[in-house]
Structure 1
Amino acid sequence: MTGPAPSGSDPVIIAGAGPIGLALALALARHDVPSLVLDEGTGLAPESARSTVLRADTVELLQRIGYGRVTADGRGWTAWRTLRRGRELHSVELRHDDVLHLAQHRLLRGLRDAVSATGLVELMPESALLELEQEPGEAAVSVRTQRTWLHGSFLVGCDGPRSTVRKRLALRFPGRAAADHYAVATIRADLPFPGEALLHRDQPRHSGAPSAREVVARPLPDGVWRLDWRLPPRAPGFSPDQLIEQLRATLAAWNDGRVPGYELISSADHVVQQRLATRFQVGRAFLAGDAAHLLGALGMQNLDEGLRDVDNLAWKLGLVWHGHAPERLLTTYQQERRSAVIARLRAVDQAMPLLQPSTPLLEARRSLLSGSLRRNAELLSDGSLGTGRLGGAPAYPAPGQGRAALTPGLSPTSPGVLVQDLSVITADGTRDRLRARLGRGFLVVLVAPGTGVWATEHWLGAGLMPQLTEVTQELPVPAELLVTESYPGAPAHTVLLIRPDGHLVAATPGSRPEELVALADRARNAASELPVPRGAGTGEGAPRLETLPAGQP
C-alpha cells in the first residue's frame, strides 16, 4: 500500500478540553495520531445541573475510544411517555442501550481517565488559545497560548459557542439567539415512574404556581432526575422561590396531589440557541461541536452531533496525517457534517410550529388545523429519543451523489448510511461486534451464510475468502476483512465496504477486486465519481451506483 507523503510528525492541536475536544483526542489516538489538548481551565469537572442524552451510535463511539464505563456512569431508560393533562398520548418501550442519560461532569471525568491511559494525548491546563497563524502552502499551523507558541499539523477548535478559533478565523456564526428556553433542576426523589422518561404537556394547574406549559423528566443514576420546564423563549427565568413553587406543583401532579420528599441538587436557566458557522474549515484549521453548531430545540442534543463531528473528522485526519490520503479528503468533513446539521435545523424549523405553539391561541388553532397533539406525539419524541428526522444518525452519500441526508426511508444498504451492528468474525476466527471494529481502518465485510455454523478453518480458505483476503491487503487504505452471517437487505455473497466511522461506502455483489480498490481509492481521494458495480441493483436491497456530477460543498 502506497500513498502521498505523510503530513509530518507534528501533533494535531485541539483547542478545548470539553467532551468534544477530549473525544477527538482519543479518536485520533485510535488512529495513532498524537495530539495536544489546550485546556483554558485547571482540568477539574465540578458537579452541575448539566447532563446529556446520548444515542447508541455515540455511546459506541465513546466505548471504542476508551471510555469503558460510559454505560455504568449513565442511566438507560425503559420507556418514553408523552402525557397531556395527565393522560397518556404516546409511549415507546426502550431497550437499556437505546438511550443513555448521564451527568456532564461524569462524562468529562470518564474521558479524562481514558486520556490518561494513552500516551498519545498531552493535556495542557491553563493554556487558552490566544492567536493562530497558518501560512498558505505550509503543512503546519501555529498557535499562541499564555505560555508559548505551539506548532501542529492541524488545529481543531472544540472551544464552545464563544470559540476563539472561530473568531480568529473570522467566521460568522448566524442563527437564532433564543429558539427555546428552559428552567432546569436536578433533584433526588422517588418518582412513580422509575426508569422512565416523560414529557408532560399542560399539567393540571396548582394555585400560585408559575406558568410552565410543559415539563420533561429524565432519570439519571443514583435516584437523580433532571426536570426541564419549557418557558416562552424570551421570558424571564424563574426566581428561586418560583422554581421551588413550580417544582412542588410538578411533583404533586405526579403523586395524586401530594409532594413527596425530594432534595434539590442544582438548578439553572437554559436558553437554547440554533446557530451554524458559515464554514467548518479554513486551511488546516477546523471547527467541531459547539464551536461549529448549536442545536437543542425540541429535546435534541448538540453533544450527539458534536461526537458525530469527531467520528467524521478523526479518520480523515488519520489517513492524511499518515500519508494514506491527500489533503483534499479533509474538505469532505465540511461537506458532510455541515449539510447534515443544516438538514437537522430545517427539520426543527418545520416541526416547531406543530409541536411548540408560542401562545394558547396558536395552540387552539393548531388543534383545529392540524389535529390533536396525539397525531404529532411521535414526532415530539424524536428529538429526545434520537430517532427520525430530529435525531437519527445522518447518511453521507459518496462525493457527487448529493448532500448529507437524514436517514428515514433509506435502506440499510444505501450508500452513506450508518451500518447496522451485528455479529462478525475476524480473519483469525475471533468473534466480535461490527461497530466495535470501527475507528482504525476501512472494513470489508463478506455476507456469508453458514459461517456461524461451520468451524472457522473450513471457510477461511474457501469460496471468496482467499481472493477477498488478498484484495483487502492491496487496498490503498488500511483495511480489515470480516465475515457475517447476514446483513439486512444484502443477499448472500454481498461485500460491504465500510468507512472507519461506520458509514457504508457501497455494497457490491460478490468479489469484484477492481471495484473494491476503485471504491476505496475514490473514498480516500474525495473523488466526484463512483463506478457502477456490475450486477448492482439486481438483488434485493442491492444499491445501484451511478456516475453523477460533482456536488457543491
Structure 2
Amino acid sequence: MDPVIVVGAGPVGLSLSLALAGQGVPCVVLDEGPGKEEPRPARTVVLHADTAAMAHRLGATTLRDEGAYYAAWRTVRRRQEGSRITFDDRPAPLHVPQHALTRRLREAAAAHPLVQLVTDSRLDSLEQEERGVTAHTRGAGTTWWRGSYLVGCDGARSTVRKLLGIRFPGRTAVERHAVAALRTDLPWPGEALLHRSGPAREVTARPLADGVWRLDWLLEPRGELVTPDALITLVRDTLAGWCGGGTPPYDLIDTGVHTLHHRLARRWRERRVFLAGDAAHLLGALGTQGVEEGLRDAENLAWKLALAWHHGASEALLDSYEDERRTAVAARLRAADQAVPALRGGGGLRTLLGSARTAEQLLADGHLGRGPLGAPPAYAPPVAVREVPTATEPGGPVENVPVTAPDGATVPLRDLLGRGRLLVVLVAPGTGVWDRRHWVKAGLMPRLAAAVSALPMRAELLVADGYPGAAAHTVLLVRPDGHLAATFAGVRPAELYAAADTVRAGAPGREPAPASVGEASATPPAVID
C-alpha cells in the first residue's frame, strides 16, 4: 500500500510522520524549505504534560536540556503580588524554543526507516481517486508522488487547503505582542511571571535554558510599528521596574512582533486529504498554544490513519478526526473570543468570570494548561460507557499512573500510548508488591486476558495498583491516544468488545490492506517518474 504523504515539515508534520511510522506506516514528508531550522529564541512553545510526553515518545528526548520547566507561576497586579502557583502535585509546563523542538523531531524522522524527508519540494497540485492521492511538487526536481492519504500540515497559508477550496474564516489581529529573548538575572530565577498594570498593559516573562528569558509585551492590535529603539526602551523600563529601579546587565538575543489571528477551517477532511495544525486552525491569544493544539491534531489523526492503512477503517472513524479536533479547537477559540473584550477592555469581568475568579487567574489558564483556555480536550464518546466512576470522565485524557504489563515491566501509562493499540487497565491494589507469577494467573486476570485477546482492535492488557477515583477491580478501556473510552466493574467480555468496536467506529468499510506491518517496513515511498 502507498505511503501517507505529509505536506509540511514543521513540528506538526514531523510529529504526524513519526507517529505514523511508529505504527508501521511509511510516510513521505514534503518540505518546502532546505531542511534546516533558523534559530529564533524569541519564538517558543509551551508543552504541557500530554504534549511533552508525546514529543518524548516520538524521539525528542533531549528537549528538557534546551528549555526550562517552570519552577512556579507568579501573577503581579501593578506592584502587588497576586498569587504564586507551584507544581508540586502535577507536571510543570516545559518552555522550549520552537526551532529546538523542530530540530529534534527532524533528527528523529531522519533516523526512522519509514520516514522519507524530501526538501525543496513545493506542492502545486493534487488529485484524488478511490484508492489514493497523487501529488505534484516543484523545486529541486519536478516530481509526482503517490500516496494512500495526504495530510496538509503546511501552515497558515496552506497550499493543501487552498487546492481543496476550503474556506478559512476568522478574526484578524486579535492580539499583538512585542517579543524579546534576552539573557539576564531576574529576581525570581526559573519562575514565570504575568505582570498586569491594567486591562491593556501586560507583560509576561518565561524562563528558557541557560539564563535566557522570553518577554512579551501586549500591544494595541493595530497600533504603530515597534521600532528597535522603542523595543529597547520596553526592555530597559521593564527590567528596571522588576529590579528595584536600576536596569540589570542583559544580552539581547532575538526580537520580534507577533500578530495573533483566530481562524478555523470549515472542513478538515476532503475524502483522502486531511488538514492539521495551522493549516486547520490559528489561535494564540490569552496564552493559548497553536503548536500544542497541532500536536494534539497529529496524535488524534495518527492512530486512525494507521488503522485505516493496515486494516481498513470505517468512514465514521476517519470523520471523527474532524468531529473531535475541530470541536475542541472551536471551543478553545470561542472561550478566548469571549474573554478578550472583557479582559482587554476592563468591562464585563464579573459577568464573564463570576465573583470567584480574577482576570489574572483566567489569563493564567492558557499558560498553565487548565480551564477552557488551556486544559487538554475531552472528546465526547459516541456511547458513554461508565459502569463505575473514576476521576476521569469518558472521553477525557487518562491520568499518567504507573502500570505493569504482563511481562513485568512497570512504566507510566503515557509511555505506552501512540502505538495504535487499545490499552485495557485493570485496577488491582497490591499488585505492585506481588510477584508477577502470582497475579498474572490469579483472580480476574485469566478471564480478562481472554476477553482482551478477542477484541476487534489490537489491545494490550495492563495492571495498575490504583487509579484516581477508581475502586478495586475497575477495568478501564483507553484509546490509543490516551483518552478514556469506557469503565467497567470487573470483566465484561461482551460489553468490552462493544466498547472497543465503538472506539473504532464499527467495522472497516473496505477490504483490509494487503501489506502487513512487517511488509510495510520494506515498502519504499512511491515516486512516480
* TM-score normalized with structure 1 length: 0.87
Indicate if the aligned counterparts of 1:172 and 1:278 stay in contact, CA closer than 8 A.
yes
Cα separation, 2, equivalents of 1:478 and 1:160: 33
Q: Which residue of 1 aligns with 2:67?
A: 74
> What per-residue deviation string (whole Å, max 9, x for no partner) do you get for residues 62-94 of structure 1?
111222112222210011111121211122112
**1:315 shift after superposition:** 0.3
Indicate if the aligned counterparts of 1:83 and 1:200 stay in contact, CA closer than 8 A.
yes
- CA, structure 1 residues 383+116, in 2 after alignment: closer, same or farther (shift >3 Å)? same
- CA, structure 1 residues 491+242, in 2 after alignment: closer, same or farther (shift >3 Å)? same
Cα separation, 1, equivalents of 2:64 and 2:306: 27
Cα separation, 2, equivalents of 1:149 and 1:473: 42
**Where in structure 1 do 4 or more consecutive aligned residues deviate above 4 Å?**
364-374
Indicate if the aligned counterparts of 1:132 and 1:142 stay in contact, CA closer than 8 A.
yes
Q: Which residue of 2 aligns with 1:545?
A: none
| DSSP-derived class of the 1:310 partner | helix
Indicate if the aligned counterparts of 1:212 and 1:229 stay in contact, CA closer than 8 A.
no
| DSSP-derived class of the 2:257 partner | strand
Cα separation, 2, equivalents of 1:395 and 1:370: 22
Indicate if the aligned counterparts of 1:367 and 1:373 stay in contact, CA closer than 8 A.
no
Cα separation, 1, equivalents of 2:23 and 2:403: 21
- CA, structure 1 residues 514+173, in 2 after alignment: closer, same or farther (shift >3 Å)? same
- CA, structure 1 residues 364+330, in 2 after alignment: closer, same or farther (shift >3 Å)? closer
**1:184 and 2:200 matched:** no
Cα separation, 2, equivalents of 1:384 and 1:264: 24
Structure 1 stretch 88-97 or stretch 308-317: which is displaced more? 88-97
- CA, structure 1 residues 526+298, in 2 after alignment: closer, same or farther (shift >3 Å)? farther
- CA, structure 1 residues 344+369, in 2 after alignment: closer, same or farther (shift >3 Å)? closer
> Which of the numbers 196, 204, 208 marks the counterpart of 1:201?
196
| DSSP-derived class of the 2:116 partner | strand
Q: Which residue of 2 aligns with 1:143?
A: 135
- CA, structure 1 residues 372+261, in 2 after alignment: closer, same or farther (shift >3 Å)? farther
| DSSP-derived class of the 1:322 partner | helix
> One-letter code of the match for 1:124?
V
Cα separation, 2, equivalents of 1:367 and 1:261: 41
Q: Which residue of 2 aligns with 1:23?
A: 15
5 Å-filtered alignment, 1:491-510, equals 491-510=471-490
- CA, structure 1 residues 216+465, in 2 after alignment: closer, same or farther (shift >3 Å)? same
5 Å-filtered alignment, 1:443-482, equals 443-482=423-462
| DSSP-derived class of the 2:486 partner | strand
- CA, structure 1 residues 365+30, in 2 after alignment: closer, same or farther (shift >3 Å)? closer
- CA, structure 1 residues 179+326, in 2 after alignment: closer, same or farther (shift >3 Å)? same
Indicate if the aligned counterparts of 2:47 and 2:95 stay in contact, CA closer than 8 A.
yes
Cα separation, 2, equivalents of 1:267 and 1:101: 17
> One-letter code of the match for 2:294?
G
Cα separation, 2, equivalents of 1:90 and 1:272: 27
**1:336 shift after superposition:** 0.3
Indicate if the aligned counterparts of 1:324 and 1:477 stay in contact, CA closer than 8 A.
no
* TM-score normalized with structure 2 length: 0.91
5 Å-filtered alignment, 1:236-275, equals 236-275=224-263
Indicate if the aligned counterparts of 2:349 and 2:359 stay in contact, CA closer than 8 A.
no
Indicate if the aligned counterparts of 1:27 and 1:311 stay in contact, CA closer than 8 A.
yes
**1:374 shift after superposition:** 7.1
Q: Which residue of 2 aligns with 1:91?
A: 84
- CA, structure 1 residues 130+197, in 2 after alignment: closer, same or farther (shift >3 Å)? same
- CA, structure 1 residues 498+133, in 2 after alignment: closer, same or farther (shift >3 Å)? same
Q: Which residue of 1 aligns with 2:279?
A: 291
**1:62 and 2:85 matched:** no
**1:130 shift after superposition:** 0.8
5 Å-filtered alignment, 1:80-479, equals 80-95=73-88, 97-135=91-129, 138-146=130-138, 147-202=142-197, 213-323=201-311, 325-357=313-345, 363=346, 375-399=358-382, 412-440=391-419, 441-479=421-459
**1:449 shift after superposition:** 1.0
**1:193 shift after superposition:** 1.1
Identity of aligned residues (%): 55
> What per-residue deviation string (whole Å, max 9, x for no partner) do you get for residues 388-443 of structure 1?
11101111121266xxxxxxxx9633110100001111011111111101111110
5 Å-filtered alignment, 1:534-545, equals none
**1:157 shift after superposition:** 0.3
Indicate if the aligned counterparts of 2:133 and 2:147 stay in contact, CA closer than 8 A.
yes
> One-letter code of the match for 2:117?
L
> What per-residue deviation string (whole Å, max 9, x for no partner) do you get for residues 205-242 of structure 1?
xxxxxx97211111100111111100111112311110
| DSSP-derived class of the 1:222 partner | helix
Cα separation, 1, equivalents of 2:501 and 2:353: 49
- CA, structure 1 residues 366+448, in 2 after alignment: closer, same or farther (shift >3 Å)? closer
Structure 1 stretch 416-425 or stretch 62-71: which is displaced more? 62-71
| DSSP-derived class of the 2:95 partner | strand
Cα separation, 1, equivalents of 2:174 and 2:347: 21
Cα separation, 2, equivalents of 1:66 and 1:326: 30
**1:367 shift after superposition:** 8.5
Indicate if the aligned counterparts of 2:342 and 2:352 stay in contact, CA closer than 8 A.
no
Indicate if the aligned counterparts of 1:73 and 1:102 stay in contact, CA closer than 8 A.
yes
Structure 1 stretch 368-377 or stretch 219-228: which is displaced more? 368-377
Give the structure, 1 or 2, with the largest relative contact order (CA under 8 Å, sep 6 or more): 2
Indicate if the aligned counterparts of 2:74 and 2:84 stay in contact, CA closer than 8 A.
yes
Cα separation, 2, equivalents of 1:66 and 1:38: 20
Indicate if the aligned counterparts of 2:342 and 2:348 stay in contact, CA closer than 8 A.
no
Cα separation, 1, equivalents of 2:284 and 2:169: 16
Q: Which residue of 1 aligns with 2:45?
A: 52
Indicate if the aligned counterparts of 2:16 and 2:302 stay in contact, CA closer than 8 A.
yes
Alignment RMSD: 2.1
- CA, structure 1 residues 156+458, in 2 after alignment: closer, same or farther (shift >3 Å)? same
| DSSP-derived class of the 1:110 partner | helix
